[in-house]
């Protein structure tokens, strides 16, 4: 098969498995390597020390698999309808980012990527090697997604697609297969600054750059220490993650809803009763977060996320 034939087969099988987009990039040093090093040097990673480890692989994903020739990058939509507006002001609820409503995406993506590899092995006569990456390997998925034409890196540093928006997960297969490469997508952000203007904690010092140490998603999911009082007052009602910069993005207004049943069979409601969170035992916590991305937050972290709620409202529920 020619590289073009291989690429066509990969995309056909990716669609059959259920992925919404598939692109192919060359495995080479990422285009914004110097930016990443400077970003880390300035402390924008906050307490995410793991981002400093294996930096050589983050800068050059080819090091993750000897003789790697291409990176197959896929997108899987997780967008759902927004929840109804809460009207009971005596029962404050903490919001959960949409990506955590359904089954933990790590397992969903990994299963689909393994299925894609199995189908490729059955269809191609020659052996090849692969390394499946789902948000745990030391690679910068968004850089590969941009190079593969899945979308462009927007001003909020998320990958955006004109039709799919930004509510999608990324998965990567680093492989020794030789395939025809895709062209990077064109940037369509234009003069829009909706995401930058809406960020409650002003986590974007400039367009296309995030200070993760100020991001609500970082503060509620990644950060393990106390949340400083200035940020507590800015976090609004988010107790796990944040979708503000996505909610205001024009490309998400008409983006399609997910068709993946493992995401729509909700494991976690869009919002949690704050009074219940404050009273959760470890067993309660395990029962609520099992099988969900919400499991990344400990009971202490979720309770910590309730601090920004007005004291009077919490007292009414305790």
Mean pLDDT over 92-121 rounds to 96
* Mean pLDDT, rounded, for 126-145: 95
Q: Is residue 166 part of a domain?
A: yes
**Is residue 87 pLDDT above 60, yes or no?**
no
Considering 111, 135, 187, 273, which one is annotated as catalytic?
A: 135
Question: Does 58 map to a domain?
Answer: yes
Q: Examine the pLDDT at 311 and tell me if it is beyond 70.
A: no
Residues 266, 168: one domain?
A: no
- Answer yes or no: is 187 within a domain: no
- How would residue 313 be classed by pLDDT, with cut points 50, 70 and 90? very low
Question: Is residue 39 situated within a structural domain?
Answer: yes
- pLDDT of amino acid 318: 37
The pLDDT value given to residue 84: 60
193 CB contacts (<8 Å, ≥6 apart)? 155, 207
Neighbouring residues of 212: CB distance < 8 A, sequence distance ≥ 6: 44, 45, 46, 48, 203, 218, 222
Sign of CA dihedral 123, 124, 128, 133: negative
Reduced to 3 states, what is the DSSP secondary structure of residue 94?
strand
Residue 5: name the closest of 134, 209, 179, 130 by CA: 179
Residue 94 lies in a domain: no
Shared domain for 210 and 142, answered yes or no, is: no
Q: Which two tokens stand for residue 243?
A: 């979708």
* pLDDT score recorded for residue 317: 40
Listed in sequence order, the residues at least 6 apart from 180 whose beta carbon sits closer than 8 Å to its beta carbon are: 2, 3, 4, 6, 7, 24
> pLDDT > 90: what percent of the chain?
77
Comparing 149 with 311, which gets the higher pLDDT? Answer: 149
Least Cα distance to 175 among 132, 114, 141, 144 occurs for 132
H-type helices in the chain, by residue range? 3-17, 33-41, 55-59, 105-123, 141-147, 194-198, 216-217, 229-232, 244-247, 261-264, 274-279, 282-289, 299-304, 311-317
Does some domain include residue 267?
Answer: yes
Q: 70 and 38, same structural domain?
A: yes
Res. 36: pLDDT tops 90:
yes
Does 310 have pLDDT greater than 80? Answer: no
Chain-centre distance of CA 199, in angstroms?
A: 17
Q: Do 269 and 141 belong together in one domain?
A: no
Q: Please, which pLDDT band fits residue 81 given cuts at 50, 70 and 90?
A: confident
**Domain match, 170 and 206 both:** no
Average pLDDT of the chain to the nearest whole number: 91
- Is 135 one of the annotated active-site residues of the chain? yes
- Highest mean pLDDT out of 201-215, 266-280, 287-301: 201-215
pLDDT at residue 85 greater than cutoff 70 = no
Task: Tell me: pLDDT of 309 over 80.
Answer: no
Q: What is the pLDDT of residues 239-261, one digit of tens each?
A: 999 999 999 999 999 999 999 99
Residue 147: strand pairing partners: none
Domain contains 183: no
pLDDT band per the 50, 70, 90 thresholds, residue 316: very low
Residue 275 has a CB neighbour count (10 Å cut-off) of 19
| pTM score, whole prediction | 0.92
Q: In this structure, are 19 and 63 located in the same domain?
A: yes
Range of the domain at 214: 194-317
Angle at 22 between CA 20 and CA 28, to 5 degrees: 145
Q: What is the pLDDT of residue 83?
A: 61
**Shared-domain flag, residues 248 and 301:** yes
Listed residues 132, 147, 175: the one ending a domain: 175
Q: How far apart are CA 75 and CA 108, in angstroms?
A: 12
Same domain, 69 and 152: yes
**Per-residue pLDDT reduced to its tens digit, 149-194:** 999 999 999 999 999 999 999 999 999 999 999 999 999 999 999 9
Whether the pLDDT of residue 112 is over 90: the answer is yes
How many structural domains is the chain composed of? 2
Q: Quick one: pLDDT at residue 266?
A: 75
CA-to-CA distance for 254 and 198, rounded, in angstroms? 19
Q: Are residues 269 and 228 in the same domain?
A: yes
Same domain, 140 and 225: no
How many whole angstroms separate alpha carbon 110 and alpha carbon 169? 11
Out of 175, 210, 226, a domain closes at: 175
Residues 69, 136 share a domain: yes
């Amino acid at each position: 098969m020619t590289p073009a034939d291989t690429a066509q087969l990969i995309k056909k099988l990716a669609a059959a498995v259920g992925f919404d987009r598939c692109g192919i990039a060359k495995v080479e040093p990422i285009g914004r390597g110097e930016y990443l090093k400077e970003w880390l040097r300035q402390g924008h990673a906050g307490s995410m020390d793991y981002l400093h480890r294996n930096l050589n692989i983050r800068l050059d994903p080819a090091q993750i698999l000897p003789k790697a020739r291409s990176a197959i990058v896929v997108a899987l939509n997780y967008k759902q309808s927004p929840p109804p507006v809460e009207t009971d002001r005596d029962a404050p609820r903490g919001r959960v980012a949409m990506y955590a409503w359904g089954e933990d995406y790590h397992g969903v993506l990994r299963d689909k990527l393994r299925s894609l590899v199995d189908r490729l092995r059955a269809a191609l006569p020659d052996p090849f090697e692969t390394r499946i990456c789902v948000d745990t390997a030391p690679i910068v998925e968004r850089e590969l997604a941009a190079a593969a034409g899945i979308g462009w890196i927007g001003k909020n540093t998320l990958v955006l697609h004109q039709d799919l928006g930004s509510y999608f997960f990324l998965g990567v297969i680093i492989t020794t297969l030789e395939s025809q490469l895709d062209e990077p997508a064109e940037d369509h952000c234009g003069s829009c600054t909706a995401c930058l203007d809406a960020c409650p904690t002003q986590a974007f010092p400039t367009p296309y750059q995030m200070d993760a140490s100020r991001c609500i998603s970082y503060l509620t999911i990644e950060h393990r220490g106390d949340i400083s009082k200035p940020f507590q007052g800015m976090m609004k009602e988010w107790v796990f993650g944040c979708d503000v910069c996505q909610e205001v993005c024009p490309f998400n207004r008409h983006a399609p809803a997910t068709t993946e049943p493992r995401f729509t069979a909700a494991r976690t409601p869009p919002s949690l009763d704050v009074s219940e969170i404050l009273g959760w035992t470890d067993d309660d916590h395990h029962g609520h977060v099992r099988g969900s991305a919400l499991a990344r937050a400990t009971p202490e972290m979720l309770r910590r996320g309730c601090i920004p709620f007005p004291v009077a409202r919490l007292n009414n529920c305790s």
